[in-house]
Structure formats: C-alpha cells, structure tokens
Amino acid sequence: MVARTQQRWQTPSWKQALAAAFTDPIALLQALELSPTKLSAPIQPSPRFPLLVPRGFAALMRRGDPNDPLLRQVLPLAAEARPATGFVLDPVGDANARLAPGLLQKYQGRALLIATGACALHCRYCFRRHFPYADAGARSDRFNAAIAALEQAPDIEEVILSGGDPLMLDDTALAALITRLDDLPQLKRLRLHTRLPSILPSRITDRLCAILSGSRLQVVIVVHINHPAELGRDACLALLSLAELGAPLLNQSVLLRGVNDEVATLAQLSDALIATRVLPYYLHLLDPVSGAAHFDVPEVEARALVTQLRQRLPGYLVPRLVREQPGEPSKTVLL
C-alpha cells in the first residue's frame, strides 16, 4: 500500500485556505510527486470548469499514486471532452423544475434553493457542472425572488440549501438567509447539502454552529463523502462539531468508477461515517452529465455491490442505492 501524505497545509481561516487552493493541475501533481506521464490517461484542463482543490484535501491523497481515489475525483482528464450517448448538460431536469430564479421544486412539500454557484472543490462528475448559475441573477435578487415564491407556496414545508455549496456563503449572508426562511410560517425543516465539512473543515466554526442552532427550523445536514480517505482528522472533528448541534447528519455518495466501486471501500466508508455520527443515506448512480461518462458504473454492477454490502454490514449502515430521473415524483430506489 502506498503511504498517505503526512504533510498538512493549515491556514488560519477557511477563506484563506480556499484562496490557497490548487488551481493548476500540474502544481497539484507536483505536490503529489507525480508526473503527467505517470497517469493512465492524459489530463486536459477545462477553462469553463477549472481545477479547484483545497490543500488540506490534497494532503489526504497518496503521494506517487496516479490512481488515488481522491485525486481521480478532481483531476481534469481528456476523457471529459469525449461525447457519450445519453450524457447531457442537464441530467436531472433542473431547468424544468424552476419555481423562481435559483429556486427549484421537483418533489412534493420541499424546494431547493441555489444559495450560491460556488464550491470549495470542483468534482469532475458534478451534475451541475453546466448549470447556468448566472441566469439566476445577483444573490440579493435571487433570494428575494425565492422568498417571494415560497410565500406563495404554503405546501412547501422544507427548504434545501444547495448550490454550489451553501456553506460557501459567509456567516453574515448565511445568517441573513436563514432568518428570512425562519420567518416563513409554513416551513418546518431546513436541509443543507454540503461537502465542506470534509473538503474545507475549517469552515465549521463556532459562529457557524451558533447560526444553525439558532434557527427555529429543524436543521438536517446532508454531507457528500465518497471515500473513507476523505475523512481525515480535521473532517472528523468538523462532523462531530455538527453532531453536537443535535441535527441529523446524513451522507450521500456517488458510485464512481475507480473511486469507490469496491465492496471493501464502501464498507470502510460506512464504518468511518458512523464513527463521526453520520448515517449512510444514499448511494447515487452517476447522474449522466456531459463530461463524466468515464466515472459510470452500470446498474447491474451497482446492485451486486450493494447486495454484497448488505451481507457485510448491519442494515442501518447500508445506503439506499438510488437514481434521480427527471420528471419523477421521487428518487428511484433501486435496492
């Protein structure tokens, strides 16, 4: 086994950590003692969707390993430019679900608010990598339009903050948004979909926890962790801090070729998650977004993996295998 890096990159704040992130694939490879010639596939930077990797996340990658599962999630490859049948710009039907600029509703009783288009990590399989964030308008206009639409929708009881990543909002902006949602009497729950606890753990501050715990709404936090190696010490501490709020912590993963498409890896991930009080929730089949076909794991193989996982773990540690299909009233549970 190749040893994981021992070097850690630490900065005083999450904003400084983000500013110091890798944006050049060659610089990232050099930090990992890798040459482009060692890779099994050629890299090809994408100006429209550039590399972005915080150094703390890069520190969890194995030096000298071109097949490191964390590296594979973020390294832009030439394969992204190859067209693939069935892989499209809007694989989950976001465009047809728009209630207002930046506000989507696909399922009964809940709506999704695009809090920001920004992320701390550019995942190469991202189903919103082609999303027209600019069309939603400036943040203040987008939030005003979303709140106005929610005021006219008394059947919506839950708002999901997504993006991008909602925790890329600074504390002032996030607190102001949550306060406006608190004022909507029909809302019961506030759900946050975020990758920052594992990608940029320094974002999970006492101030952030106070903002979340101060809401009258039931807060549910859904994180996105695909591989047990993503759960470094700082990520575990961040997740445990969120758990202290009493908010349910759930994880959704994406099944990715060359990343987590082995039973042992998925079992290790479930074990690592529950140790930080996070319950495995969903294992998504890859959304067929243009540029991500090289990550695809066929459904028959995915079913076999989850069947084997059920034989190894207690039922509560086995995530539901799901697929999102445009126009359906819920996610499709496959197993």
Q: State in Å, rounded, how far the first CA of the chain is from the last one.
A: 32
CA distances (Å), 221 to each of 160, 239, 278, in order? 10, 10, 9
pLDDT tens, per residue, the chain with 335 residues: 334 443 333 445 999 999 999 999 999 999 999 999 888 899 999 999 999 999 999 999 999 999 999 999 999 999 999 999 999 999 999 999 999 999 999 999 999 999 999 999 999 999 999 999 988 777 888 999 999 999 999 999 999 999 999 999 999 999 999 999 999 999 999 999 999 999 999 999 999 999 999 999 999 999 999 999 999 999 999 999 999 999 999 999 999 999 999 999 999 999 999 999 999 999 999 999 999 999 999 999 999 999 999 999 999 999 999 999 999 999 999 99
Instruction: Name all domains of the chain by residue range, CATH numbers in brackets.
Output: 14-81 (no CATH), 95-333 (3.20.20.70)
Q: What is the pTM of this model?
A: 0.94
DSSP H helices in 244-318: 263-275, 299-312
Q: Which residues pair with 332 in a beta bridge?
A: 323
Strand order through the sheet with 218-223:
98-100, 103-104, 110-114, 158-162, 189-194, 218-223, 249-254, 279-284, 320-323, 332-333
Which residue from 198, 283, 280 is spatially nearest to 242, judged by alpha carbons?
198
Between CA 3 and CA 64 the distance in angstroms is 9
Give the torsion sign (CA, 264, 8, 18, 161): positive
Q: What are the contacts of 174-182 at 24+ separation with CB within 8 A?
A: 174/115, 174/208, 174/211, 175/211, 177/115, 177/143, 178/211, 178/212, 178/214, 178/215, 178/217, 180/143, 180/147, 181/147, 181/150, 181/215, 181/217, 182/215, 182/216, 182/217
* pLDDT at site 186: 98
Going through 224-290 in order, the beta strands assigned E by DSSP cover 249-254, 279-284
The tokens describing 217, both together, are: 């709404």
Alpha carbon of residue 69 to chain centroid: 15
Q: Which residue has the tokens 């989950």?
A: 92
Between CA 93 and CA 326 the distance in angstroms is 5
Q: Which residue has the tokens 């996610």?
A: 331
**Residues that constitute the known binding site for [4Fe-4S] cluster:** 119, 123, 126
Nearby residues of 296 by Cβ (< 8 Å), 6 or more positions away? 257, 286, 288
